[in-house]
Amino acid sequence: MKIGIASDHRGFKLKKFLKENLKDYEIVDYGTFTEESSDYPDYGIALAEKVSTKDVEKGIAICGSGIGISIACNKVKGIRCAKVSTEEEAKYTRNDNDSNIVALSAAIGEEEALKIVKTFLETPFSNDERHKRRINKIRKYEEEHGC
């Protein structure tokens, strides 16, 4: 599976750790590439665009809180980015919401982040009718409102 990853300067160290420990995946890094101050929207949007066009299957986004980069990712049509803090949330966002990007706080521990990401990447979408119906409502809104 081809996975995109992106972070701002605060998420750089965690991004580097995840890249080193996700050996079963092809990882494409969309920046940042240093710990110099940077703006999370630049990297979150770049990642989200690549997920949206299916250049990569799923994405991992990291910033200080995980919130800002998730907001930026969600501005791209077709993206369902969820900021998660636990493995259970990672499981539910894939199973119920078919989220295609997971957002993490740079403050989370490395091993915990790795567990969360693996759960996100390994959990399939349930395809339950109720979940498909809800996702279709979001898609319909995107279409009707040009977002």
Q: Cβ(104)–Cβ(66) under 8 Å?
A: yes
**pLDDT for position 147:** 79
**pLDDT of 73-110, one tens digit each?**
999 999 999 999 999 999 999 999 999 999 999 999 99
What is the CATH classification number for the domain harbouring 103? 3.40.1400.10
Residue 104 pairs in a beta bridge with 62
- How many domains does the structure of the chain reveal? 1
**What is the rounded CA–CA span in Å between residue 139 and residue 48?**
16
pTM of the model: 0.96
Residue 24: domain span = 2-145
Q: Cβ(55)–Cβ(4) under 8 Å?
A: yes
State CA 104 to chain mean position distance. Answer: 8
DSSP structure string for the chain: -EEEEEE-GGGHHHHHHHHHH-TTSEEEE-S--SSS---HHHHHHHHHHHHHTTSSSEEEEEESSSHHHHHHHTTSTT--EEE--SHHHHHHHHHTT--SEEEEETTS-HHHHHHHHHHHHHPPP---HHHHHHHHHHHHHHHHHT-
**pLDDT of 15-56, one tens digit each?**
999 999 999 999 999 999 999 999 999 999 999 999 999 999
